Structure formats: C-alpha cells, structure tokens
Chains A and B, each alone.
Chain A
Amino acid sequence: MGGKKIIRNRIPLLLAFFWTLIIMGSSLYSFSKINSNKNFESNILSLIPDQVFPSEDPLLLEKLQNIADRSFVVLVKGEDEIKGLKMAKKLAQEFKKIDGLSLVKSNSEATKEIENFYFPFRHQLLRPETRDLLQSLSPQQIADRELQFIYSPLRRYSPYEFKEDPFNLGGIWIKSFFERGGDFLPTEIPSIEDKDGSWYLVSGKLNTSPFNTGQQQKLLNSIRDFRSEQNKESLQLITSGLIFHAAEGTKIAKKEISTVGAGSLLAIALLVLIVFRSWSSVLFIGTVLTCSTLIAISVTWLFFDKIHLVTLAFGSTLLGLAADYSFHFLAKFKAIGDSILSRNLLLKGLVVSTLSSIFAYLFLLFSPFPGLQQFSIFVASGLAAACITVLIIGPFFNKSLPNPVEFGRVFNSFFEPLYIKIATNRGMILVVGLIVILSAIGNIYLRGVDDDVRQLNTSGDLLLEDEKKAQKLLGNFNKQRYFFIEGESQQQVLEKTELLQHELSKQRPFDGPKNKNYFYSTTTAIPSLYQQRQDYELIKRKIFSEQGAASILCKQLKSNCFWMEVQSKFNPNLLPSSLPNTISEIYPAVDLISANKNVVFFNQTNLKNSFSPSNILISGITYFDQVSNLTFILEGFRKQVTWLLVSFFLFMTVASFLLFGKKGSTIIAAISFSSLVALSLSAGTGITVFHVLALLLVIGIAVDTAVFFITPGLNRDTWAASTLACLTSAIAFGILSLSEIPLLHYFGSVVLLGLISTWLITPLIYFLLKEQ
C-alpha cells in the first residue's frame, strides 16, 4: 500500500521530469535550426499551392524564373544629366562589390559582340516594320528614302561600313535589341528620358534566389549606403525586381513577428501582474509560453524543411492562445488555494477546450495553402504543449489560502446581474438577436466575395508605385501573360512563333502605332530559316537585283558602285544553337528552343479589353494568364474551404451534444452567433478565402469559452479567466489585424471580432439556456 502511494506521489515528478527532457531536447533541436538562415523561408509564393502555377514544364518554369525573378533594375536620376550619370556609375561600382550578383553587360560591350555575330547574316534579316516597308515601297522609293538618311546631318546607328551595308539593314536589326519597348539612349550607362529628365539604368542578375535573405540584405545595404553618400535631395531612385518585393515581404514579416510577439508578451505580463499580483504567476505563464513555443517550432521543423516567416507572424498569436489555459488554472487556483484540486476541476474543460482548438487548427491541414498547413501544425502542437505544461507544472504550486482574483468581482457586481436581467427579457432578445443575425447575413450577402489575387501581395504602396514607374519607363514585358509554344523541331517552334506574332499583330491587342514591337520573343534574335530565306529573297528582289534600289542609289550618288559588296549567298547557319551567350543573356528564353519550346510575352501590360487570346487557334500554342488563373484558383479554394468550415461546424455540433448533452446548445449558439457577427463586420470589400479560414479559429475560440462555462461552470473565476484569455488573444489578433499583408489583416480582423463577440455573447447564451 505504502509503495503504491509513494509511486502515485512520484508520478507528477516523473511526468515533470520526462516533460523537461522533451523540452530540453526540442530546445537543442530548435537552436541548432535557428542558427542557420537556411531553415527559414521568406518566399511568399511558397504559401501558394503548387498547382497555382500553370506551367507544368520544369524547363519553362526555370527559364521564367531566370527571366522574371532573378533580374533587377535600379533607375538613377540626379540633379542633372551629368550628376545622374556619375551617380549611376558609382552605384554600378558598388553593386560590382557584392558577391552573388552580376551586372548586365554595358551596351558597348554587348553591342560589339552582337554586331560581329550578325555580320554574315545582315542581308537575310528583317524586322517586321522594315519588311513591311520593303514590301510596300518600290526600289526607286527605297533608294530615295536611303538618300534622305545619307544627306541628313544626323547619323543613324550603322554598325557596318557603307560598302558592306548601304541600306543599314544590319543596323536596324541590331538596334531593336536595345529597344525592348523603351527608348534607350546609347550612353555609357544606358539611359532613358522622360519629361523630367534622364534616368540611368543599372541592371543586374542574381546568381541566387531573390528570396535569399542574405542576398537581399547585401543589395539593400548597398543601396542604403549609396543613398546616404549622395545628396538626398537631388537623387531619385526607382527599384524594380522581385528581390525588392521579396525583401519587403521579409521585412514586413519580421516586423509582424516582433510586433505581435512583443505586444502579446507585454500584454500578458502586465495582465498577470495586475490581476494575480505574484511573480510566481508570471514565471508560471512564462514557462508555459516558452514550452509551447519551443514545441511548436520543433514540431513544425519535424514536418517541414523550412519555417515560413509568415507562419511565425501568424504563429505569434499562439502566445495569446496558450496563455488562456494558464489564466484558467491560475484563476481557479487563486479561488480554491489548492493546485491539485484546481487541476482536477479543470481537467475535463481544459482537455476538451484544447482538443477542440487543436481540431480547429488541424482542419487547416485540409486547406490547399502550404503556409496555412504549416501554421496549423505550429499552433496545434503549441497549444497541446501549453495544455500539457499547465497540467504537469500547475500542481507544483504550494497550497495557499483561497484568495479569488479581485478582477472577478466585476462579474458578480455588474455583468452577472446585467446578463440575468437581459436574459429574463426573452422577447426583446429574440427580436434583437434576429435583427443582428439577419443584418449580418444581409451584409455578408451584399459584400459578396473577393478572390482578387492582390490578397497575396506583401509589397507596400511605395514599392508598387516604384514598380509601376519602372515598367512605364522601361516598357518591360508583362510576365503574367504569355503564350507557350511547343513543336516537333526547333525550326517548327520558330515558325509557329512567327505565325503567332503575325496573327497577334492582325488583332492589334494594344492601342498604339502599328509598327511598334509589342512582343518579347526569341524570334527577335533568331528567326526561323524559312523567314530568313523569305527575307533574303525580298532583299534580293527589292535592293540587290539589277533594277533594285542599290543600283538606283548608286546612280543618285554618281558612282559606278564597284565598291559595293553584293548580297552573298543565303547563309543557313543562323540557328538557335549558334547564338552567343550575350544574346541568350538578353533573351534567356532562347535556351528553351533547344527543347523544342518557346515563349512569347507582351511588351506592355494594358491589353485591349476586346483582345481575346482564345481566338488564336494554332496547334501547340497555349495561352497562360497567371492573374486570371490565380483568381480562378483562389475562388476554388474559397468554395473548398467553405465546405470544410461547414463540415467542421457539423462535427462540433455533434461532438458538443455527445459530450455535454443539452448544454451543448450553448456551444452551438455561441459559435454560430460569433461567426456570423465576425464575418459580417470584417467583410470589407468581400469575403475572401482567408476570412473563411479564420472562421475556423473563431469556432475553436468560441468552443473554448463555452466549454469552460459549462464545465466547471460560469462563475467569477471562469469569467475572469475567460476575460483575461480573450484580452490577450484580442491583443495578439488585434495587432495582426493592423498588418500590411492583406491575408494577415483579414485573419486578424475576423478572429478579433469573433473573440469580442464570443466574450460578450457566450455568458448571455449561458444564462438564457440556464433559465430554460
């Protein structure tokens, strides 16, 4: 008997010992991971399901990343042209010092290589606008037009000598390499002019991912140092590139983590000191929160390679939730003065409440968002750890005289009489309740739904403004909309690309001059052999034939033209495989051709509304619109998650009645009312998938509160504990609702409003049903 008693007495100690070992193990594991930056993720795109990206082709995906993700541009403007150029040179020098990035070759270096490469092919290459001219003008007109250029005091860009290329066909071909939509000036550092002056272009490529936080830091520090060295008033910088958006996302996520984390911790510490007035209580809650966080981080790392910074920002709300269990325990312990008895009284409520919350969070595992799946594991494991810590460590408090928390008096003196008074007036409650519910439903219906892809955006307004300015100046291609071309051979792919461009030009998808190049396509560097031969024949017929423009020009120049180099034979060697690296750097998609694939982007972003890419029916060509795809997928997710929510609600209804019988209706009424009110008040511009996901948490919290009111029962201690719990969680989610990241904002708002309505309404429902 005595031995059994000793063992029974030692069980709590043994449990505490094992729990301490687990916590120590997870501490060591977490710290080893924290020390390496590689175990954190800042790429916002990794929060989005993989199937969102329509390109199933890994090579295309890699090339798209190479084209879109790793390049960046900084546009520099000084007080005047000279100062601007000097500043741009200085910035380029600073960038050269950074490891892991390379600056795009200057125009002069690249031009020379390109000129030499295209020299043998100069009489078989035509830009569409030059082709149109040669087709429409007579040889006499072509010669007259050329004469205008010869007599003009201005000089055209003409890389080859007059005798080698009298009509400057090579010059026109090469010039468009440096005019991808923008009007770049051939200055030492390329520049572009707008109405306010010259912008100098410093562009580069990253050798690593733009989401590498170390690389982001190096680039941003370099720009910051450069800014501080220069005269701030005259210097203007515009940045463009994914790395700047990624860096901003990282910065915001880190800010959210520290704000939500520090805010919650401070609020919890202050509340504990004010309400419980003992350092041992602060230490107890501190221990619970530390154990909870350590387990949450370790378990997440066990399931996922990397923890996303947004998970941590979301997860910092765990502090507010984990503190709830401690409050319930401390309030009960203060009331009865016996820690073991308090644990026993709270056991059922604590376990049921924790399990309901864990279920609520684990339901997020069914959501298609990897970020939310990670968040669910993080919080569910953290909550489990918090509950276990309270149950194991709580009983170690020494017995003391009952001293209920003063704060609970408010319940007895004000709230309880008020709730009882209101509960007696059932007719009025029914009417008011119905009005609130109907208004909420009406408002939700009126607000409708919002599946805008911008919900996933993490960039601030300033950065987006910069991006817009840069796109306007550079005339860059739109990376979200493109045609993907596949064929059986490289030449077939090129021919299909040319056919597509021809069809697109006929449809004129943009408002603007007819001869402007609206597409970013590899055929700008490498036309098909068929097109080359066609152009060769056209040049031969209109320029180099006996009656051609060349002989007319010679007569006009009063020369026998013995010096003029005749058009050589057609050269069949201009093939994708023969292109030098300089050209692949300008058109990275060129490498796709070796795999019989190609991609065509639009050079501008504003497509005409009347333009319909589905009208283009060429086999092997698919149109991708990432923006509408994302919107469509978000809509699908929203519907999917709504069904998830309905199932969770039904599950909780059944579970509540099974566990608590009739009293379970308190839980059902609380979750229904809180969810409707929270959703209605936070609907804003429409219900998003993140609103619906947040409702899962509102249900979990409402269940939590209602369960403690059923067991051990609503009294000053449980009310005080619930109020404190609500306050700390409200602070955490309240801070989150101020987030600049739309999805965090929606999440924070819904949960905050759900918390407040749960706190206000659950006691009333309790008294209403009790009276019955």
Chain B
Amino acid sequence: MKFNMGIVRLFLMLTLVCFSTSIFSTLKDTIFNQAKDTKSINSSFIQERRISVLPLPLVSTGNFKFQYQEGILWETLKPIQSTIIISENGIQEENNFERTEIGGSSQIGKVLLGLFSGDLASLESYFFIVTKGDVNKWNLFLEPKNSLVSSQITSISIEGRESVDSIYLVEANGDSSSLKFNHSRINFIRKDPSK
C-alpha cells in the first residue's frame, strides 16, 4: 500500500494550522476574559506623542483609572490639565476651555474601553487582531478592517501581562504615540484559586 505523500503533507499542515489557531484563539480569549474579570485599575501613565515634523516627542503624564461597568477616567496632569471620561455612553472631555461630549466618535476611546473592559467583539468589528506570546506576557497587534479606520490609524500594538502595560499607536499620517501604564493596583472580580 502506497501513501500519497502530498496528501499526507497537506493533512499534517492543516492539523498544524488548526492546532495553532486553536492555541492563539485561546490566548486571545484568555486575555479578554482576564480583562472582563478586572474590577478596577489604578495607574499612572506616560504618553509620548511623536509628530513627524517635531524633533522631540511630546510627553505628557497623569493618572488613569478603570472601573468595571463604569469606564475609564483619564486625567492628564502635565504639561496641561484635562480630564476625559470614556464609558459606554460616550466620551466626555473637560479642559480649561470647554467641556465637550465626543459621542463615541473616537476610535482610540473605543479601543481603550474595549481593551480594559474585555470587549473583544467591539474591537473585532474594527480591527483584525493577531495574538502573540503567552498568558504571562502577551502582545496584540490590531490592524484596521475598513478603509475609514485605516485612513486614521495604521496599526495598534498592545503589550500586557495581568492587564494592558503599553499601547503603541501608528497614525496614517506617520505620527505615532506610545502609552505606558504603571499599575499601582489591579483588583479582580473573581480569581481562579488554582492559578
């Protein structure tokens, strides 16, 4: 009896692809399930915004708070003061000049809320998501699914462990931003005792 080696190779490759996909989807699910279990996060952040024409990055710092079912409070302290509240109901921005309702039109706002609240479905409606690493140190690479988002954002790279540690955003005009979180406290809703 003779084996058709081509078919065998194809079978092995398909098995490998299915197996690896299964592993990746498990990691993605784990990351987002973990985010769903997060009750609150308190941290500080450093944002470095690089605008192509400016020689130096624009650095800003402040506090970041996430509360389960409530949303994100983003407080920039230096060099300017502003407060942003991102929730399911939309986005509110308050600075020295005005208080504006952004009405959810900011993609970044949606990404941040989706990431911290574990709303994978919301992110997948706008981005292709590639997962790398393992539960202890993972990386998500987001690429826009439609031309409207890609006209603003080229890609978003996210690194994390228990929660999101950093976000690197590349804009379509060549500008980029890096956000680093220094978590002081993360509370979970329920923790698996076996872990």
Interface, chain A (partner B; CB < 8 A): 80-82, 85, 106-108, 111-112, 141, 144-145, 147-148, 150-155, 157-158, 161-163, 183, 185-188, 193, 557-559, 563-564
Contacts and interface: CB of A to CB of B under 8 A. Distances in A.
B69 interface: no
B21 interface: no
A559 B103 contact: no
A153 B179 contact: yes
Contacts of A148: 80, 82, 95-97
A150 B60 CA distance: 10
Contacts of B95: 145, 148
Given A108-B151, A111-B151, A157-B152, A144 B121 contact: no
A559 B53 CA distance: 9
A81 B104 CA distance: 13
B109 interface: yes
A558 B58 CA distance: 10
B182 interface: no
A151 B49 CA distance: 8
A155 B107 contact: yes
Nearest to B173: A161
Interface string B139-160: 0000001111101110000000
Contacts, number: 111
Contacts of A111: 148, 151
A82 B121 contact: yes
Contacts of B149: 186, 188
B106 A154 contact: yes
B148 A162 contact: no
Contacts of B135: none
Interface in B45-73: 47, 49, 51-56, 58, 60
Contact of B47 (A82, A112, A153): A153
A161 B171 CA distance: 11
A183 B56 contact: no
B122 interface: yes
B12 to A, nearest CB: 34
A564 B53 CA distance: 8
B84 A153 contact: yes
B79 interface: yes
Most chain B beta carbons < 10 A, residue from A82, A141, A152, A185 = A152
Nearest to B124: A82
Most chain A beta carbons < 10 A, residue from B53, B84, B109, B124 = B53
Contacts of A558: 56
A148 B83 CA distance: 10
A151 B82 contact: yes
Given A163-B52, A559-B55, 4 more contacts: A108-B146, A152-B82, A154-B91, A559-B54
4 A-B pairs with the lowest CB-CB distances in the bound complex, closest first: A188-B146, A563-B53, A108-B148, A108-B147
A144 B96 contact: yes
Nearest to A565: B53
B112 interface: yes
A186 B102 CA distance: 13
B93 interface: yes
Contacts of A80: 121
21 contacts: A148-B80, A151-B47, A151-B58, A153-B177, A154-B91, A154-B106, A154-B108, A155-B107, A155-B108, A155-B152, A158-B173, A161-B52, A162-B51, A185-B103, A186-B107, A187-B126, A188-B146, A188-B148, A193-B103, A559-B53, A559-B55
A147 B121 contact: no
B87 interface: no
Nearest to B144: A188
A183 B55 contact: no
Contacts of A151: 47, 49, 58, 60, 76, 79-80, 82
B175 interface: yes
Contacts of A185: 103-105
Nearest to A142: B97
A141 B175 CA distance: 25
A148 B76 CA distance: 10
B64 to A, nearest CB: 9
B184 interface: no
B74 A153 contact: yes
A176 to B, nearest CB: 13
B179 A152 contact: no
B125 interface: yes
Contact of A112 (B51, B106, B151): B151
Contacts of B80: 144, 147-148, 151
Contacts of B146: 108, 187-188
Contact of A163 (B53, B147, B148, B177): B53
A121 B147 CA distance: 25
Nearest to B174: A161
A452 B1 CA distance: 90
Contact of A155 (B56, B96, B171): B171
B168 to A, nearest CB: 13
A151 B95 CA distance: 11
Contact of A154 (B102, B121, B151): B102
A37 to B, nearest CB: 40
Contacts of B51: 150, 162
A18 B32 CA distance: 88
Contacts of B105: 157, 183, 185-186
A154 B179 CA distance: 12
Contacts of A161: 52-53, 173-174
Nearest to B98: A145
Contacts of A106: 148
Given A111-B148, A151-B47, A151-B79, A183 B58 contact: no
B147 A152 contact: no
A140 B164 CA distance: 37
